[in-house]
């Protein structure tokens, strides 16, 4: 049981939007599609959701379900003149979902929205709109979700809340989720498996930790008195306040962290500074 796109081609005039693209997502798995703007992510997701037709290739969803997948494309599109409950009721009625007050309250609670809020959705923040859009996508309990650029336009707290919601839906409810983004850090933190798409072609499929390694030149370490560490003396190391930036670490970052430990220094965080371009121009 999975959702699979196989050998998808799509072109607009002389421009090829998707070129022999194949992806799949299993239940409970968070699968990422990472790429720059215009790489073909939205086109692929629109095809998955049946909004546009591919020139060739096939979509297969094994689950025999009234609504095999729900989704959001590009931005949460809601009836801004209605409140959250009315939006759920309208979209729910259209697809024959249970739109009783109890069921709607359940959907709002599921995505962490205030069940007592009655003002128009037009007043909501982007994060709240994203949550409501996910609640709408979850109407009729589809086994798969397709979320196109869900982190765009969100503040840092909104990103964290949304990431937690996506992980909760996948890991606790068993929903298979396909997420697209150009934000490599968010994809690495959120996904179990990531496709990299560039100019309409899937150029890589990896586990997040592999992509971190391939996409990272520099790491920023935070810790107490790190400037005194013998391990960090030498080239490619810049001290910035309480932080240290290490570029092209040699030995690798794992070894450096262990050496710092042996020296008795405590490292509070080690943040890779990823660059998506390193993934796009470095073939497998």
Partner 1 sequence: MMTNNTVLSRTEWFKLFRQSRTWYALGALLLLQVILLLNAWYQGESILNMLLENLKQSFHFQGELLNGHLLVYIVLNTMWFHLPLILMIVVSGMLTTEIETGTLRTVMMTGISRKRFIRSKFLVAVVFTLVTVLLVAITSGVLSYLFFGFGDLFVFHGALNFFESEDAFFRLAMAFVAGAFSMVFFSVCSLLLAVIFRETVKTWIVAAFFLIVCNLLLQMQPGEGWWKSLFFFNLNDTWQLFFQYEIPWEQILINLAMLIGYAVAVSLIGIWWFSKNDIE
Binder among 94, 230, 238, 258 for partner 1 (CB under 8 A): 94
Contact call for residue 16 and partner 1 (CB under 8 A): no
Among the listed ranges 48-56, 110-118, 224-232, 258-266, the one in contact with partner 1 (CB under 8 A) is 48-56
For residues 163, 210, 71 and 105, what is the CA-based torsion angle, rounded to 10 degrees? -30
Binder among 20, 26, 36, 86 for partner 1 (CB under 8 A): 86
Tell me the backbone φ, ψ of residue 26, rounded to 5 degrees: -100, 160
Binder among 61, 78, 111, 246 for partner 1 (CB under 8 A): 78
Residue number with CB closer to partner 1 (67 or 173) = 67
The SS3 of residue 264 is coil
Number of residues in contact with partner 1, rule: CB under 8 A? 33
Q: Determine if the peptide bond prior to 235 is cis (ω within 30°).
A: no
Tell me the backbone φ, ψ of residue 134, rounded to 5 degrees: -70, -40
Helices (H), the chain: 41-48, 84-94, 101-110, 126-137, 156-173, 184-190, 208-215, 253-262, 276-280
Q: Are 34 and 184 in contact (CB under 8 A)?
A: yes
Binder among 32, 40, 70, 127 for partner 1 (CB under 8 A): 70
Rounded CA gap, 284 and 214, in Å? 10
- Number of residues in the chain: 284
Binder among 74, 185, 213, 273 for partner 1 (CB under 8 A): 74
Among the listed ranges 25-33, 107-115, 129-137, 257-265, the one in contact with partner 1 (CB under 8 A) is 129-137
Contact call for residue 126 and partner 1 (CB under 8 A): no
Residue number with CB closer to partner 1 (166 or 232) = 166
Tell me the backbone φ, ψ of residue 37, rounded to 5 degrees: -60, 135
Q: Are 31 and 176 in contact (CB under 8 A)?
A: yes
Binder among 32, 71, 143, 150 for partner 1 (CB under 8 A): 71
Residue number with CB closer to partner 1 (35 or 76) = 76
Among the listed ranges 89-97, 102-110, 170-178, 256-264, the one in contact with partner 1 (CB under 8 A) is 89-97
Residue 83: CB minimum distance to partner 1, A: 10
For residue 185, what are its two tokens? 């850090």
Q: Are 3 and 48 in contact (CB under 8 A)?
A: yes
Residue number with CB closer to partner 1 (90 or 203) = 90
Angle between helices 126-137 and 156-173 (to 10 degrees): 20
Binder among 11, 95, 199, 259 for partner 1 (CB under 8 A): 95
- Contact positions toward partner 1, by CB under 8 A? 46, 49-53, 66-68, 70-75, 77-82, 86, 90-91, 93-96, 133, 136-137, 139-140
């Amino acid at each position: 049981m999975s959702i699979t796109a196989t050998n998808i081609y799509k072109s607009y005039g002389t421009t090829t939007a998707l070129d022999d693209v194949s992806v799949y997502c299993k239940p409970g798995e968070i699968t990422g599609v990472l790429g720059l703007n215009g790489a073909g992510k939205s086109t692929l997701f629109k095809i998955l959701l049946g909004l546009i037709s591919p020139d060739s290739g096939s979509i297969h969803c094994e689950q025999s379900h009234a609504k095999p997948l729900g989704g959001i494309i590009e931005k949460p599109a809601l009836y801004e003149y209605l409140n959250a409950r009315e939006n759920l009721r309208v979209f729910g009625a259209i697809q024959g979902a249970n739109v009783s007050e109890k069921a709607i309250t359940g959907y709002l609670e599921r995505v962490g929205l205030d069940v007592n809020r009655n003002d128009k959705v037009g007043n909501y923040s982007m994060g709240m709109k994203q949550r409501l859009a996910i609640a709408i996508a979850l109407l009729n309990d589809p086994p798969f979700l397709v979320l196109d650029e869900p982190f765009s336009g969100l503040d840092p707290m909104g990103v964290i809340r949304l990431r937690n919601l996506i992980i909760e839906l996948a890991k606790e409810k068993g929903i298979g989720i396909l997420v697209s983004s150009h934000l490599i850090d968010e994809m690495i933190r959120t996904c179990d498996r990531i496709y990299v798409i560039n100019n309409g072609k899937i150029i890589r499929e990896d586990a997040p930790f592999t992509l971190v390694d391939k996409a990272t030149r520099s790491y920023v370490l935070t810790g107490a008195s790190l400037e005194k560490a013998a391990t960090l003396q030498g080239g490619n190391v810049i001290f910035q306040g309480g932080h240290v930036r290490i570029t092209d670490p040699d030995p690798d970052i794992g070894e450096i962290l262990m050496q710092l430990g042996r020296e008795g220094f405590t490292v509070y965080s080690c943040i890779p500074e990823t660059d998506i371009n390193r993934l796009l121009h470095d073939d497998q």
